Chain A
């Protein structure tokens, strides 16, 4: 009997899709449109995050060692620096190495005649884990015995953090808004189906069909439409992403950007599309049918 019912739900759900072909098509199109916009913004956010991560890894703090410390003493404080929270790694740069590096950036080294490396201090180049905590790490470093001063490009780091936050917020807001829109459209499609079949539903109630029995074919309908929409969106998103990353970015000569390859995000994206598509389908159909089941 259970198998019988299952077949009935599937058959009725599929029949309903074809009986209301235009609305089904419209629902799938809306889901595809919403999922592609959601997906595109998510991919954009991921890529921005990736780029920021790369930039973060190049954004370092400089901790200058007190002049009174010998180089051996200066090397001795590296363990204290590395033990600080948020410090990923550090390396020691002698004043001589720093001087050579500085002078080499100028075409005319004679400008620095009469000066030598004692003008500079020994220093540590410090990489951190979280760029948003740069100011706190700067304070912590300043507190290490033997560190005379610490420089950090706080404006750049806060800029990165702001960009990331804005994109994450916009993406989240868009995902939420588009989810609600998809839900609304799907719910209305199924509502139209239920409206056309209201007499049938009334008869079902009258002869003693349970609410679950009445609901399931509509849920199956929503589920199939959601799934079709999700799969179509995934394929289109894939194509769009490849097109944009390979042709547009490469063609425009933006080589410094590192783009996440699609295969790295394909499975999570497919899973997310599947969950959103199915969620929209199932929740939308349940919202549409609930009024008919109250009696």
Chain B
């Protein structure tokens, strides 16, 4: 039976909805990621991030760095990316990021992990299908030292939409 595997398959769902969040809950996100020289050079080139610290090793060393500097916006995107499955994979659009701090320059070869705490959840006043959730997410190096931190908010769909008023 060619279709048998489909009939027997059980969906392995991913992501969380509004009801799955509670203020104060903490996530240690999956995977982590080593950021390579090729990652940051490609990211900087594709986004036209023209500061030579990000792609000229001699220039970076002449400014006292041991290597090219990892584009901090790549670092931020990796930390946010690692948080997506736990926080925002299926809920809805990304609204904004606030109070983002880059603690120090980092260099190729760094391994980054990410953690998040849920700060706030509220129902949308205009849309009975959605709420808004805000988290605080931080990225860490191998020694557990923080390298980036920020708050972000997303629209998150309700599993059980409220009755429209």
Chain B associates with chain A: no
